[in-house]
Amino acid sequence: MLLLWLKSLLHHVTKLCEISPLTSGGHNFCFSTFLQEFSSYNSLGQSQFSQYYTLPPSSYVPAGLPSSDDHSIGMGVAEYSAVKSEQAAPAGLPPRGNLDFFFFLKRIFLWDLDETIIIFHSLLTGSYAQKFGKDPATVLNLGLQMEELIFELADTHLFFNDLEECDQVHIEDVASDDNGQELSNYNFLADGFNGPSGGGASGTTGGVQGGVEWMRKLAFRYRRLKEIYNSYKGNAGGLLSPMKKELLLQLQSEIENVTDAWLSTALKSLLHIQSRGKCMNVLVTTTQLVPALAKVLLYGLGDIFPIENIYSATKIGTYCNSPKVTYVVIGDGRDEEFAAKQHNMPFWRISTHGDLVSLHQALELDFL
């Protein structure tokens, strides 16, 4: 299943450039003929950074934790104000047919989300508490509270009730069905759309599932979802009640404390990549797209990952050869490593704080 983690992204990146012969600089290029470089890559030799694995948990000091009176609800992202180089790559993926972008871009870092950048799922399963010697009840309680916030945000503001059964890999997947209608006064509650059933409120017609009208209403929801994400990517608390804002701040701080600044440590690498020229961070997760977006917002990562750079691999994508870009996969599991090897991509495993520290060191030394 996790092999799809990469297949979907490669398919979508290729689609962005409409695989067809194009001319640039007097030479003809066809993306379908491009092959991955570095075909002999295996898992990266992390052992060369073993000296960084021995750092004790006390050395991971949370940086930029929000205070209870902070008006910006973000997990310390603003505190890591990386200065982008003049030749830094654009944050988001390009529109279709933009060949020049991929000749400019050299390296894409494909990040897993849970237990790689953030700690969430293992809070609920108890595996984090067991592995790192934390109090199981405390850790579970934090995970349950964050889970409640994630689904509240997804259901209330991100149309998850409507979109759960018609999930997409990428935010633009149904954009071609959008007729561009103004949505500022559009009533999503009364348009008759009710997920894949096509049903709706009494007296309304949602259209036949997969039909033109139904797909148009689906596209409206994804367009509005994109607008909400872009409006609140640096301030997820703006979507919450005052009480829930305070709860989010408290959870962010307590999770960062109990995980020994895991997120802050991961942010160092994310921001280093973001500040580089010709490099890009892309998030690929097996979580459905809408809950994944809710996690990104609530963990304060909206400014790190433009919505165009977030993919859900829960649906099968058809594999196509990708542009001549080096991909580096960063994840926590053997499935991700296997998927990376299947596509001859370098893989960096994240299982401890030391792995995050050594990743940052490797980036600083230009080994990645």
What would the two tokens of residue 183 be?
């949505």
| Element spanning 348, H or E | strand 347-349
- Alpha-helix runs per DSSP H in the chain: 4-16, 99-104, 121-125, 127-132, 136-157, 160-163, 212-232, 242-258, 262-275, 289-298, 334-342, 353-364
How far is Cα 346 from Cα 368, in angstroms, rounded to an integer?
9
Active-site residues: which are they?
112, 114
- End-to-end distance of the chain based on CA atoms, in angstroms? 27
How far is Cα 112 from Cα 284, in angstroms, rounded to an integer?
6
Amino acid at 264: S
How far is Cα 214 from Cα 168, in angstroms, rounded to an integer?
15
Backbone angles phi, psi at 104, to 5 degrees: -80, -40
CB 347 within 8 A of CB 329: yes
What's the Rg (C-alpha) of the chain? 21
Residue identified by tokens 């969430």 is 120
Residue ranges of the annotated binding site for Mg(2+) are 112, 114, 332
Residue 303 DSSP one-character state: T
How far is Cα 316 from Cα 183, in angstroms, rounded to an integer?
31
How far is Cα 311 from Cα 286, in angstroms, rounded to an integer?
9
**Residue closest to 271 by CA, chosen among 130, 111, 117, 83:** 83
How far is Cα 334 from Cα 50, in angstroms, rounded to an integer?
20
How far is Cα 121 from Cα 129, in angstroms, rounded to an integer?
11
How far is Cα 363 from Cα 361, in angstroms, rounded to an integer?
5
Q: Quick count: other Cβ atoms within 10 Å of Cβ 22?
A: 15
Sign of the Cα torsion 209, 225, 201, 184 reads negative
